[in-house]
C-alpha cells in the first residue's frame, strides 16, 4: 500500500480562506502531502482585515493534535497563529511528547492588514516554550523586530537571522517581503551548521499577498516531510510561493489583500 507524506498544521482558521488553516491545507495538497489540522483560534476576517478572534479551549486544541498524531501520524508540523500564552504552553506539552523532528514555526504576530494577532504575553511564552522544540522559525521583518525588541532599519537580514538564531538557539529564515525594491532576498541562518544561505526572489507587482507567510512555512514543512533537507526545502518552497504569487496576481477577489493562487500548477 502507498503511504502519504503527512503534515499537520496547528494554526488559526481564516474565514476568508486566504491564510491560516485554509492556506496551509491548500499548500500541503499543492506540494504533494496529506494535510491534517488542529485549530487554535477562529477568526472573523476577509481581505480587508480581522474583525474578531476567538481562541479554542486548551483541552480541545490538545485533543485535536493528539487525535491526529496517535492515529494518522505526522512527517512534519507547521505551527502558525497561537493567540495566547495558554495555547502556546498547551501545544508545547503535546509536542514534547510527540517527538517530531520536522517542525516549522511561523511566529504569526501581525496580519497583512496590520491587525495584531497575538497577545503580548504570548511572545515570551513562544520564545521560551516553542523555539527549543522546532527546526526553523520564519519571521518577517515586523515579527523579527518584536522578537529582538528593536527596529530593523537597513540592517543586512543575515545579521538579523544570525542574531535571532544565536539568541534563541534555533535556525532562522528571515523574510524580506517588507523591504523595498524589485529583488528581495530571504536569508537562512542555520543554528546547526552556522551557515548563511540566501534565497533571492523577484518582487511580484500585486496586492494579493494575503497568507504568503502561512503558505511559505507550510510549503517548507511539506518539502521537509518529503525528505528534503532544510536548505533545499526552503528553496523548493520559495519557488512554489513565487509561482503562486505570479498566478494569483491575475485574479480579483475581495476589496483588499487577496490570496495567492495555491493550485496554479493544476488549474
Active site residue 211: yes
Domain at 194, CATH number: 3.40.1190.20
Side by side, which strands form the sheet with 49-55?
49-55, 34-46, 6-14, 76-79, 103-105, 136-137, 171-174, 183-189, 196-202
> From the candidates 40, 112, 138, 209, which is the catalytic residue?
209
Residue 32 a catalytic site member: no
- Of 238, 6, 221, residue with least CA distance to 103: 221
Q: Is the pLDDT of residue 111 over 70?
A: no
Check 175, 197, 248, 258 and give the catalytic one: 175
Tell me if 115 is assigned to some domain: yes
Reported as a single tens digit per residue, the pLDDT across 171-201 is 999 999 766 778 989 999 999 999 999 999 9
92 is a domain residue: yes
In-domain check, residue 97: yes
Within-domain flag for 1: no
Catalytic residue (one of 17, 20, 212, 248): 212
Catalytic annotation, pick one of 214, 232, 243, 256: 214
Give the active site residue among 35, 211, 248, 258.
211
> Is the confidence at residue 112, as pLDDT, over 70?
no
pLDDT for the residue numbered 182: 85
Containing structural domain, residue 183: 6-248
pLDDT band at 74 (very low <50, low <70, confident <90, very high): very high
Number of structural domains the chain divides into: 1
Examine residue 106 and state whether it is found in any structural domain, yes or no.
yes
Which is higher by pLDDT, 149 or 128? 128
Establish whether 175 is a catalytic residue. Answer: yes
204 close to 258: Cβ distance less than 8 angstroms: no
- Please state, in angstroms and as integers, the Cα–Cα distance from residue 113 to each residue in 48, 161, 211, 214, following that order: 7, 24, 11, 14
Amino acid at each position: 500500500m502507498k503511504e502519504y507524506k503527512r503534515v499537520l498544521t496547528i494554526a488559526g482558521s481564516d474565514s476568508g480562506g486566504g491564510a491560516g488553516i485554509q492556506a496551509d491545507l491548500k499548500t500541503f495538497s499543492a506540494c504533494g502531502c496529506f494535510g491534517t489540522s488542529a485549530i487554535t483560534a477562529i477568526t472573523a476576517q476577509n481581505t480587508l482585515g480581522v474583525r474578531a478572534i476567538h481562541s479554542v479551549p486548551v483541552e480541545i486544541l490538545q485533543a485535536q493534535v493528539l487525535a491526529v498524531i496517535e492515529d494518522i501520524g505526522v512527517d512534519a508540523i507547521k505551527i502558525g497563529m497561537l493567540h495566547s500564552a495558554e495555547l502556546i504552553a498547551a501545544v508545547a506539552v503535546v509536542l514534547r511528547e510527540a517527538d517530531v523532528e520536522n517542525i516549522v514555526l511561523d511566529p504569526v504576530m501581525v496580519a497583512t492588514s496590520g491587525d495584531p494577532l497575538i497577545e503580548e504575553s504570548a511572545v515570551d511564552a513562544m520564545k521560551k516554550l516553542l523555539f527549543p522544540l522546532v527546526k526553523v522559525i520564519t519571521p518577517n521583518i515586523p515579527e523579527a523586530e518584536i522578537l529582538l525588541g528593536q527596529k530593523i532599519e537597513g540592517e543586512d537580514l543575515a545579521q538579523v537571522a544570525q542574531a535571532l538564531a544565536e539568541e534563541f538557539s534555533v535556525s532562522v529564515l528571515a523574510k524580506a517581503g517588507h523591504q523595498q525594491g524589485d529583488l528581495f532576498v530571504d536569508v537562512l541562518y542555520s543554528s546547526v551548521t552556522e551557515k548563511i544561505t540566501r534565497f533571492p526572489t523577484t518582487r511580484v507587482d500585486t496586492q494579493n499577498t494575503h497568507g504568503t507567510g502561512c503558505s511559505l512555512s507550510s510549503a517548507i514543512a511539506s518539502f521537509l516531510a518529503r525528505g528534503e533537507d532544510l536548505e533545499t526545502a526552503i528553496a523548493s518552497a520559495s519557488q512554489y510561493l513565487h509561482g503562486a504569487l505570479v498566478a494569483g496576481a491575475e485574479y480579483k477577489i475581495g476589496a483588499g489583500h487577496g490570496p495567492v493562487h495555491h493550485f496554479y500548477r493544476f488549474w
